[in-house]
Each structure stands twice: as C-alpha cells, then as structure tokens.
Amino acid sequence: MASPLVRNLAATALGLGLLLPLASLPVFALGAWDKAEPLVIGLHLCAALAAFALAAGAVQCPALVVGCLRHPFVLLPLALAAWSAAAAPFVALPWLSLAGAPQSGQGGLWPLDFALLIAVARMVRQDGLLWRRLGLLAVASVAVVAALKAFDWGWGLSGGRHLLIWVAAYYGWLGLVLPVLVLGDGEERGRWWRWLVLAVAVAVVLASRTLAIGAAGLLGLAAAEGVRRRLWGKGGAVALTGITALLPGLLLAMVPVLRSSASLADRYGLLLMLRHEMSGWGWTSWLTGLGWGRTQDVFHKSLHASGMRLWDGSWTFMTSDYFHSHNVVLEALLSAGVPGALLSLGALMALPLACDPARRAWGAGFAVALAGAGAIWFPLGLSLPALAMAVAALAPPPFPARAGRRLLPMVVFALVGMALAGWAGLLLRHGLEMTAFQNAVSAGASDIPDLPADPRGGDLEAAEIISHAFLGFESVRSAERGRYLPAARSMADYLRRRLPETQTVLLPVSGLSLMAQTHLLGGLTWLGDDLDLSGQLWMQWIDMAWRLAPERGDLAIPLFTRMATTGRSDLLEAGVQRVLSRDPRDPVGLYFHGLLLVQSPDPAVKRAGIDRLRSSIESGLDRFMPLDPALAPLLRQQ
C-alpha cells in the first residue's frame, strides 16, 4: 500500500474532481463560455495532482504504481491520448486537437486526464476508509448538483440566471456513474445506504430532464440482470456493449420513422453533415481524423447538407451551440480517425471484459449504460473524475508489478503533472483576459484591450464573443452609441486581421452576420461608415468564408439580396457565377441568376431565367430562404 502522503495526495485529486461540477457556479465564471471553461481548467488541475501523486508513489512504491497502470482500463485511454498526440502534427490545428473545443476540453489531453485519475483511484481503492469517505463525498456532491439543477429549472422558468450549465443533460451522467462508484466495489453496504445512493442517482437523472440518460440506465440494468441470470456471459456482454454503442446511429440513418421525433430529427441532421464531410476524406483523414475540437467547424462547413431549414428557427441546431457530434464513437472517428474510434469503442467494451470477475454484472450494466448514453449524447469533464472512480471500482486489485528504475517514472509523472498544471494556468490566464475584454465591451469602455489570441490556435471564442457583442449593440440607445464605437472598432479590426488566415468557419460567418446587420437588416447601420464596412469588403469576407466552406452558397444570400434590391446587377452577376462555378446545382446561385435573367427583354433569356428559378426551387431553395407560396405554382405554369 502507498504511504499516507501519497494516498492523501491521490485522494485530494479525486475529491476535488468529485466537486468539479460546482465549478460552473457564477463565482468561478470566466471566458466566453463562462460555465464550461472553469470545468476544463479544474479537470486539468485534478489530473495534474493525480500525476504528482503517481510521481511520489513511483519513489515510495514503484511496483504498486506500475500495477495501477497496467490494466486495460488505464492503458486504452493512454493509447488514445498517445495516438491523438501523434496525429496532432498532421491536422490543421494541432494545439486545438490536444486541448479540445473551449466548451468541453475534449481533446488529446482528455483521455490522459482520465487515465491518470483511474490510476490514482486504483491506488486509493486499497485504503477502504479513504475510499468510503470519497464515496460519501460523491453522494453529497451529486445530491447538491441535483438540488441546484432543480432550482435552476424553477428559477430559469421565472427568468433568473442559471447557477449551473443551462443544458441539464450533462449532469445526468452522474446518475449513471454514482451507483457504480459507491456500490460497485464489492463491499457490503447497509440497505439504507444502497437506497440513499440510488435515490440520489435517480434524482440527478430526473433533474437532467433527459429521457436518453434514463433509458440508458434502464438498459444497463437489463444487461446486468442478464449476466446475473447467466443469460449471457463475458463475451455476450462485450458484444452487447458494442451493439449498443453503434446501433442507435445506424438505426437513425436507416429507419426514417425514427426521425418523426424532433430531437432525433435533429440528430439525423448532424449525421448528414458528418457523412457529407467524411465522403470527401482521403486515407490520411481516415487515419488521423481532423483533430479534436473541429466538430463545430465541420457542422458549419457542411450545413447545407443537413436537409434542414436554416431560416425559420424550426431546427434546434440553428439556435444552439453544437460542438460535438452527440455520439462518442463517431466523435472519436471524426477527431482521431479509425484508430481513435476503435480505441474509444474498445474502452467501453473493456469494462465487462477486464473487470473483476466478481463484478461482471456491474461491469456489463455500466458498459451498456455508458454505450447507450454515448450513442446519442456526450459527457463533459464535470463527470470524468467520478467516472474514473467508478471504472476503478470495477477493476481487480492492482497486483504489484516488477518495476525498473524509480527515477524515470517519477520524472515522467512529475513532468506530466507540471505540463497539465501549466496548461491549466495558461487557460486560466486566457479566460481572465477574455472576461476582461467582455467586461470592457459591455461597459462601453474607451480603452478596449485587444481581443486575446486563443492559445488553442482556433477562433471559436473570438467568433462567439464578436457575434454576441454586435447582437447586443443592436439594442443600444442612440444617445449611447458613441461609447461602444471603440469596442466595435477593436472587434472589426480583429476580423480584418484574422479572416485571411483563420481555420475556424464560424469567424467569417460572424463577420458576414455583422455585414448583414450593417447593410441589410438595419440594426447596425450606425456602425457602417465608422468601421469602413464596404460592400467590396463584404464580398472579400464571403470569399474567405468559401475558402473554408466552399459549398455554402447560402452565405451570400444577404449580399446578393442587397445587390438585387439596389440595382447592382453587374456585381450580382459576378457573384452568382462564382457560386455556380463551384456547384452548378447550387439553389442560391440558380435563384439569383434566374432573377437576373427574367429581367431581360429577350423572351429566350427570360425563359432561361424562369427555368433557373424553377431549378432552384427543385434543388431545395426553401431550406435556405423563405419563398412566396405562390411562386412555385406560378413557375410551373410558365
């Protein structure tokens, strides 16, 4: 057994991790996603403490540390982290791939954090008293989270600001994890304690208001009962886990009746966009993926392939912040290629395969529940420490393994801990700078700092802040508009600097939204002259957007509308030809070209214009812009 110092350091890492969901409280707010970014920082700090505990343990009891590491529950996430790091130099944004999207932090470091936490949990598991205390803390933490989300629900309905993350489904994962963490370790527990744990787990699932999480839990119970009744063994449980992880996505793609549900139709739209992206992949993309943190870019690059209406608010995606594919294995495939997907799926299937034989039913049920939930949803880092403890509870006791030199593992773990702590500190500094920038913008300060560059290398945060800031400027009273000009200039300058080189699709989309607000919609006309947002610059920004999303002809709709209504037929013709040169069937290009042609006095040209308008409608123009219901019947009569 490790020394008390090592065990207490490891337990501190786990205990702070169990409290991680509370890092979303307003007192910790920072960054563009002020409830999510503290979770990412906190997770890395907990993992850094875990690495330091392993470094100390490598000096005091190296055989035990090696034994804690040598298990598939630890080695599979370590392999995923190693593969993500190896693939990072071959993707467009390597630092973003390691760090993950700002909203989640799910990148190459995520499985490293997970593996470190599982390893120290296996170490702490040897101290029964310390483990039970952590179990008590877990129950208390989840109970508090359930109460806070219940409060948020009522408070939010009355217009109050949520205390925790608005999307309650993320907390439902704690309900799947808690019973395994506290009751799945094989120790005897009193009946009252078992009922209390189950009650808290059910409470947080109910507070999450997510049917999918509850259904996954019930499916897991059925899988566990099948093992207990010997309906299937280890191999059957492994197969059932794999089927549960893969089948929902396949059914959604192949069975149209499932899409009658709004939420499942939403998921199907995501699948169509991802399929469109992957249809153009070469072998290198299948090997390395695009890198972690790029899902949002893929969605906005392939939005036209969703089959959904983009303009009437009927699709949840258009009013939400989607940064994940809502499928754990598919996300790994997109981000880390086929090896990443296999490792992600393998980590799930290892739960019933490599768990303590005495806890096979727990392992099977837990694996199926996680696979079912991960097939249609995804966790945030707030549940990762508790998940690591639950996985460790199912593992057999670590057998001390022959250890080599003590210095090397100690140095490796110390360096890993320092790297994670340093990265967390860098994210903390960046988050504070982003918060200061947002506060200066909101206050209409005269001295506006530059918008900080994201150390992850992307521009997701900048796009989010710029979009929300200019949207807020629309409601500024006339007498106060001058106060906000410095902030507007600062953000417009950022767009001019970054758009030619950015790899983030949402940044040019934010710039095009600003152009539409300034020149067409009228909400920000008072900024147009001051910011020098000319129509020529608008077309340049569209070209920059098309560099990243070449099939998004719909991005030009506001500009083409302005050209059509102001009589700039020459510019409209040039713009339309650029769209049609990329895709001759683009409905937006066909529509505006048809508008130009029907104005010709030549009957043959006019007829060609009507044909173009008809083709645009047949190609799905109504998905991109509203149409007069009488237009299609009228064109059919021509």
pLDDT at residue 615 tops 60: yes
Structure confidence at residue 409 as a pLDDT band (50, 70, 90): confident
pLDDT at residue 111 tops 60: yes
Would you say 83 and 339 are in contact if contact means Cβ atoms under 8 Å apart? yes
Terminal-to-terminal C-alpha distance of the chain: 86
Would you say 310 and 259 are in contact if contact means Cβ atoms under 8 Å apart? no
pLDDT in tens, 346-396: 999 999 999 999 999 999 999 999 999 999 999 999 999 999 999 999 999
Question: What's the rounded mean pLDDT across residues 173-185?
Answer: 93
Question: What's the rounded mean pLDDT across residues 408-434?
Answer: 96
Say what angle helices 557-565 and 587-597 make with each other, to 10 degrees: 10
Label residue 396 left, alpha or beta by phi (over 0 means left) and psi (-120 to 50 means alpha): beta
Question: What's the rounded mean pLDDT across residues 470-475?
Answer: 89
Which residues are within 8 A (CB) of 573 and not within 5 positions of it... i.e. 6 or more apart?
593, 596
- pLDDT score recorded for residue 399: 80
- pLDDT score recorded for residue 405: 66
Question: What's the rounded mean pLDDT across residues 83-98?
Answer: 98
Question: What's the rounded mean pLDDT across residues 566-580?
Answer: 91
Question: What's the rounded mean pLDDT across residues 242-259?
Answer: 93
Question: What's the rounded mean pLDDT across residues 67-74?
Answer: 95
Task: Work out the number of other CB atoms within 10 angstroms of the CB of residue 28.
Answer: 16
pLDDT at residue 489 tops 80: yes
Question: What's the rounded mean pLDDT across residues 408-417?
Answer: 93
Would you say 123 and 482 are in contact if contact means Cβ atoms under 8 Å apart? no
Which residues are within 8 A (CB) of 600 and not within 5 positions of it... i.e. 6 or more apart?
606, 609
pLDDT at residue 539 tops 70: yes
- pLDDT score recorded for residue 157: 57
d(CA 342, CA 288): 12
Most confident range, picked from 92-96, 396-400, 480-484: 92-96
pLDDT at residue 581 tops 60: yes
Question: What's the rounded mean pLDDT across residues 88-110?
Answer: 97
630 compared with 110, residue with greater pLDDT = 110
- Lowest-confidence range among 70-74, 146-150, 289-293, 625-629? 625-629
- pLDDT score recorded for residue 521: 80
| One-letter amino acid of 287 | L
d(CA 181, CA 388): 9
pLDDT in tens, 299-358: 999 999 999 999 888 888 988 899 999 999 999 999 999 999 999 999 999 999 999 999
- pLDDT score recorded for residue 261: 85
- pLDDT score recorded for residue 401: 67
pLDDT at residue 287 tops 70: yes
Would you say 636 and 606 are in contact if contact means Cβ atoms under 8 Å apart? no
pLDDT at residue 10 tops 70: yes
Question: What's the rounded mean pLDDT across residues 177-204?
Answer: 90
Burial annotation 180-212 (CB, 10 A radius, 16+ → b, else e): bbbbbbeeeeeeeeeeebeebbbbbbbbbbbeb
**How does DSSP assign 160-222, residue by residue?**
PPPSS-S-THHHHHHHHHHHHHHHTTS----HHHHHHHHHHHHHHHHHHT-HHHHHHHHHHHH
pLDDT at residue 404 tops 80: no
d(CA 495, CA 475): 22
- pLDDT score recorded for residue 631: 67
Structure confidence at residue 522 as a pLDDT band (50, 70, 90): confident
- pLDDT score recorded for residue 46: 98
- pLDDT score recorded for residue 156: 64
Whole-number average pLDDT of the chain: 92
What phi and psi, each to the nearest 5 degrees, are found at residue 186?
90, -5
pLDDT at residue 635 tops 70: no
pLDDT at residue 159 tops 90: no
339 compared with 478, residue with greater pLDDT = 339
d(CA 617, CA 561): 17
Would you say 217 and 175 are in contact if contact means Cβ atoms under 8 Å apart? yes
d(CA 6, CA 387): 21
Domain borders along the chain are 211-376, 459-551, 553-638
The angle subtended at Cα 339 by Cα 337 and Cα 343, nearest 5°, is 120
Question: What's the rounded mean pLDDT across residues 97-103?
Answer: 97
d(CA 533, CA 516): 10
Task: Work out the number of other CB atoms within 10 angstroms of the CB of residue 521.
Answer: 13
258 compared with 294, residue with greater pLDDT = 294
pLDDT at residue 523 tops 90: no
Question: What's the rounded mean pLDDT across residues 194-206?
Answer: 96
Say what angle helices 62-69 and 37-60 make with each other, to 10 degrees: 140
